[in-house]
Every structure is written in C-alpha cells, then in structure tokens.
C-alpha cells in the first residue's frame, strides 16, 4: 500500500555486459615480395602478381600470353638483379618491416587480439593467415590492407582474395575491412615528421609527391556513373562520388601533407610512377616531371612516396636511385628520398587506431 509522502522503492536491476567469447584476428596485408632475389623466385612472384585480373585487367587468355610468354620470362632476370640490390641480411625490406610491425602491433593490442602478417602474393600467404585464424574460434576478423589509398588493383584484390577463401568456410565470423587510411591524422603526421626532419636540414627548391601509377582505364572503370571522372581537375577535391578514385585520393593526400608542411603553392608536384606498357596511365608521369623541373632551374628536390608504408623496390630503387640519376642527368644537384613509415612508432599507433576504430 502506498504511504502518502513516501517515495516508492526503486528497483535496482543488475546489468552485466558479457565479454565476447573469442579473440579478434587482425590480418595486416601488404602487396608481396619474392621469396629470394633468384630468377626463378622472382619469375614465380611476377606470374602470381601479374596474373591477377585486377592488376592486369584484360581477358584471361590475353593476360596469360602476355605474362607467361613475354613479361615473366624477359623481366624476371632484370627484376632479380634489382631485388638483389635491396635485399638485406633480413631479406626483403618490405617483408622485414612487415614482420617487425606484426610483433609490435601484437604487443600494443594485447591478448584480446591475434595479429598475422600476410602478403597478397607469395609468402606468408593470405590463405595461411586465415587458416590459422579459423582454428582459433575468433569472434571477428579485421583485415587491414597496407595501401593508404584504395585501388581495385591493390585493396580490391585483397578483399577479393579474402572473400574467396572465407566463402568456402562452413562458419564465417564477422569480417571487417579497412578500406583506406590516407586521411588518417596519424598516417599524415608520420610523413610530416619525416619531411620536417629533412626540411630542417636543407631548404629544398621543390617537393615531389610520387605515387604508384595505374592505367587510366582502371580509374575510369571505377566511375560507375560515367560522368564524374575526367582524369583532370575532378581530382581537385575528394567527395562522395570520387572518394574511391585512386587518383583523387592521391591528390587529397598531397593537399593534406602540403598543408601540414606549409609548402607554398608552386613549390610542389603530384605525379605517378611505375607505368608499364603503351596504354595511357594516370598523369602526370614522374619521369616526365623530373626533367621539366631540372630544365626550370630546380636544383634540389625532396621526394615523398606516400602510396607506400614500407620501403621496397619502388621507393628505394625507383624513387631513390633511378629518379635521382634522371634528375642529375638533366642538371639537378640534390635529390633526397623521404623514407616510408616502415616500423616507426607512429605507424604502429596508426594501426592501433585503425583496429580500435574498426572494432
């Protein structure tokens, strides 16, 4: 019976939040590397890499003839020689940095997570990493491709491979992907710190931001409307309709770095490297820009490669050596490569944020 003036008793209900029963798997995935710089291993790597229909997006019969009949046989010896130049006592730099990051990320995340390194091509394979996860009774799997900007030929290929494998499992846990992270504040800050280190030592005439290139047709195929992509000033801003355009993402990365580094307009260039074949790739081409800069009187260049998070053949040799020689050939005097994030603490912090934000 209610007594006037007396408050009703409050029913206290105990609410407990039950912890998820299993751990979270974190699969970090980079492009890949040969098992050794020997010609047979390099040829094997090139065949797997270039036979991916997202990398060379032409009919399979034509792709097979091109890769197995022309590229792999003739390019493997030359590539093996170059791989030999970057190989260290720890093996491939790309794989070595990946292994260090795997260990450091595991330490930072703790026992509730299981971190595995995988390569899209060659070893350690995505299949092996996911198979290890399958045996652990994981509640969920987070996949982080090591490509800052999304592209069908890189991030898209990792997605496709992961789904091909887990699609055959009887029990498929929750799977989450990190699509891109080129706008992540810590990713940007990592390259800003590296850039400031060199800019404090010398006043460079020009700053070059060189990204890995892609065929124009792949960019155009990504515009499902057929109306947005013009391969030009449409990349001057990143918005809902071009957010997955690789070229637009690269220009956006440059704008963010330029702002933080306080680089004046006219003192920097965004360009694209590593083109292959006769079909047009996204422009401007790095190997066209460099001679133009030298002819304009630019004597010193600070070169970034913000499409890579680990130093590899494309950064160490292509940007660091070949482009320096090209610059000097046309009258340039000072060329400085800014290294990748590699195994730096801020890169580990970036990955922790990506995992926790995704989780």
Axis-axis angle for helices 345-358, 185-199 (nearest 10): 170
d(CA 166, CA 132): 12
Q: Are 310 and 347 in contact (CB under 8 A)?
A: no
Does 212 belong to an annotated binding site? yes
SS3 88: strand
Q: Among residues 145, 143, 162, which one has the least CA distance to residue 154?
A: 145
d(CA 330, CA 321): 15
SS3 26: strand
Q: Are 352 and 199 in contact (CB under 8 A)?
A: no
Q: Prior bond to 124 cis, omega within 30? A: yes
Does 314 belong to an annotated binding site? yes
d(CA 1, CA 11): 16
**Count of positions (residues) in the chain:** 359
Extended beta strands in the chain, E state: 24-32, 113-121, 140-145, 174-177, 206-212, 268-273, 300-304, 334-337
d(CA 93, CA 99): 10
Q: Among residues 178, 165, 158, 96, which one has the least CA distance to residue 133?
A: 165
Q: Which residues are annotated as a binding site for Fe(2+)?
A: 212, 314
Q: Which residues are annotated as a binding site?
A: 212, 314
């Amino acid at each position: 019976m209610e007594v006037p003036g007396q408050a009703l008793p409050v029913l206290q209900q105990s609410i407990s939040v039950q912890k998820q029963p299993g751990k979270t798997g974190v699969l970090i995935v980079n492009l890949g590397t040969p098992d050794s710089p020997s010609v047979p291993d390099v040829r094997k790597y090139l065949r797997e890499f270039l036979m991916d229909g997202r990398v060379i997006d032409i009919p399979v019969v034509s792709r097979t003839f091109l890769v197995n009949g022309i590229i792999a046989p003739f390019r493997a010896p030359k590539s093996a020689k170059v791989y030999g130049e970057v190989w260290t006592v720890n093996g491939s730099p790309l794989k070595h940095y990946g292994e260090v990051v795997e260990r450091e990320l595991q330490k930072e995340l703790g026992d509730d997570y299981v971190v595995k390194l995988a390569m899209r091509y060659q070893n350690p394979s995505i299949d092996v990493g996911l198979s290890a996860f399958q045996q652990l009774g994981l509640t969920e799997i987070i996949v982080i491709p090591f490509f800052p900007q999304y592209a069908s030929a890189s991030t898209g290929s990792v997605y496709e491979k992961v789904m091909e494998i887990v699609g055959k499992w009887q029990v498929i846990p929750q799977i989450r992907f990190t699509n891109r992270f080129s706008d992540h504040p810590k990713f940007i800050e990592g390259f800003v710190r590296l850039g400031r280190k060199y800019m404090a030592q010398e006043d460079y005439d020009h700053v070059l931001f060189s990204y890995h290139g892609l065929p124009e047709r792949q960019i155009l195929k990504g515009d499902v409307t057929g109306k947005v992509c013009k391969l030009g000033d449409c990349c001057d801003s990143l918005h809902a309709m071009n957010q997955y355009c690789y070229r637009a993402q690269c220009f956006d990365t440059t704008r963010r770095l330029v702002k933080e580094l306080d680089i004046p307009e006219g003192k920097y260039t965004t360009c694209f490297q590593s083109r292959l074949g006769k079909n047009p790739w996204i422009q401007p081409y790095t190997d066209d820009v460099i001679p133009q800069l030298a002819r304009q009187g630019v004597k010193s260049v600070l070169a970034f490669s913000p499409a890579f998070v680990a130093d590899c053949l494309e950064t160490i040799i292509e940007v660091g050596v070949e482009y320096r020689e090209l610059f000097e050939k046309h009258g340039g005097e000072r060329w400085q490569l800014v290294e990748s994030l590699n195994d730096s603490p801020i890169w580990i912090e970036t990955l922790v944020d990506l995992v926790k934000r995704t989780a």
